Amino acid sequence: MNDTMTVRNVRDAFRARTRSAAETCRDALARIERLDPQLHAFNTIVADRALARAESIDRHFDRWRHAPLAGVPVALKDNLCTRGLRTTASSRILERFVPPYDATVVARLETAGAVIVGKTNCDEFAMGSSNENSAFGPTRNPWAVDRTPGGSSGGSAAAVAAGMAPLALGSDTGGSVRQPACLCGVVGLKPTYGRVSRYGLIAFGSSLDQIGPMTRSVGDAATVLAVIAGEDPADATSAPEPVPDYASALEQGGGDIRGSRIGVPWSLLDQGVDADVRRAIDAALQVLRARGATLVNVDLPHAKHAIAVYYLVATAEASSNLARYDGVRYGYRADCTELRAMYAKTRAQGFGPEVKRRIMLGTYVLSAGYYDAYYLKAQQVRTLILRDYEHAFGGPHAVDVIAMPTSPTAAFRLGERVSDPLQMYLADIFTVSANLAGLPAISVPCGFTADQLPVGLQLTGRRFDEATLLRVADAYERDTAWWTQHPPIARR
């Protein structure tokens, strides 16, 4: 694998005219052609379109030379709308859907000079933690092809880990950027809710969804966030917050985190965390301590309820959002002459088992007689989860970030948890709280298990304080080499 295939290296080589955008694009497409038959990271590959775009960037060098992502190949999760390019959300119901517009993040990437090479596989409608719920078959983990890459953005994580693209976008509703980034050994950033426009993202849970980058390094994630972040008139939930120059701040900071206070909820790590994962996390915390940070015990008393709360709120919102797929407006329509039968048949044939499960759960908790007992109660506990974090980040003993594992285990085998949804859902135990509270969080590689499977360290920060989050993550990365490791399949 080419070690120069990072966002900043690709861009800088283009600027220096030592490597053209077309050369970089051809390399990426060649790797996709060679590796994707084994990994199935992509649902759609757009080689001709990508090369035409890269060649155009080369021809108009002066126009693009200062663009922050000039010539950088990017893979997009297949739930981000792309004008004129099939967008399926890995569902049969949208198998032939071609949007007439671009998602805001897609438009911003292209304005910054990026080159789209394809749409990545994911759990259907982003519902899953293993990528096994895709209607088009699972993606495989580049570190061990018999294991899951995580989900729901598993295709994006696998694409970056295998060197098929230095940058991919995913969506994160309960950990769907961070968990696959962890299991595939790359960086995954979930920004604050409202930091990045959701316009053009096919909705799963509207109060939880957030789009974020997956990259090789923290610096690359910082570069990309500055491009895709910012208020958007097309998304009423996007925030009018100023967007810092995150990458420059990292360069100027030089990895200095002396005096930083890192909260660790030790009591949450006592049960259910794999021994190899715990060892890697403990070692990572000592690296940060050696950098001058102080480790502080924090209490998150309501975190134990986060999974239950998430799977009530998220399924309720999914039930509402997916009501639009009825065979009338767009997407798949079953062949049927009677209207009610057509609705039922379309949804029965178009949706997979996990999506149906979540629609039924969500419809149940929103139904008369159960709303107060389930959905309303979940929203109340959601507020308590947020207050736990606000308490940790405020007051005289405030911490700057909170550290914990991204996932309690390394990548599990494909098929291992399919028949046990509860075990599958528990894979998100450490990630869902950031979504429920609307906080930014990042996963960075921090080691390997005895089986040479990646482990991830998760850092969670204050609302709209991605700068601190990135600074601490960058400091850790400077003193370790985990992020430079490549899976065996990528070395061929």
Structure tokens at 391: 């308490």
- Tell me how far CA of residue 328 lies from CA of 86, 98, 336, 454, 487, in angstroms: 19, 16, 12, 44, 45
Asked if 446 and 281 count as a contact pair (C-beta separation under 8 A), the reply is yes
Among 129, 176, 407, 433, the one annotated catalytic: 176
* The two three-digit tokens of residue 143, written as one number: 């570190």
d(CA 147, CA 42): 17
Q: Is 248 a catalytic residue?
A: no
Q: Is 210 helix (H, G, I), strand (E, B) or coil?
A: strand
Cross-sheet strand order for the sheet of 42-45 = 42-45, 115-120, 73-77, 167-172, 210-215, 187-190, 441-448, 454-461, 401-405, 261-264, 294-297
152 catalytic per annotation = yes
Handedness of CA 274, 279, 285, 288 (dihedral sign): negative
Rounded to a whole number of angstroms, the distance between the first and last alpha carbons of the chain is: 7
**From the candidates 90, 152, 156, 443, which is the catalytic residue?**
152
Closest-CA residue to 199 (of 292, 80, 97, 293) = 80
Tell me, yes or no, if 190 is annotated catalytic. no
* Residue burial 369-391, b: 16+ Cβ < 10 Å; e: rest: eeeeebbeebeebbeebbebbee
| Residues assigned a catalytic role | 77, 152, 176
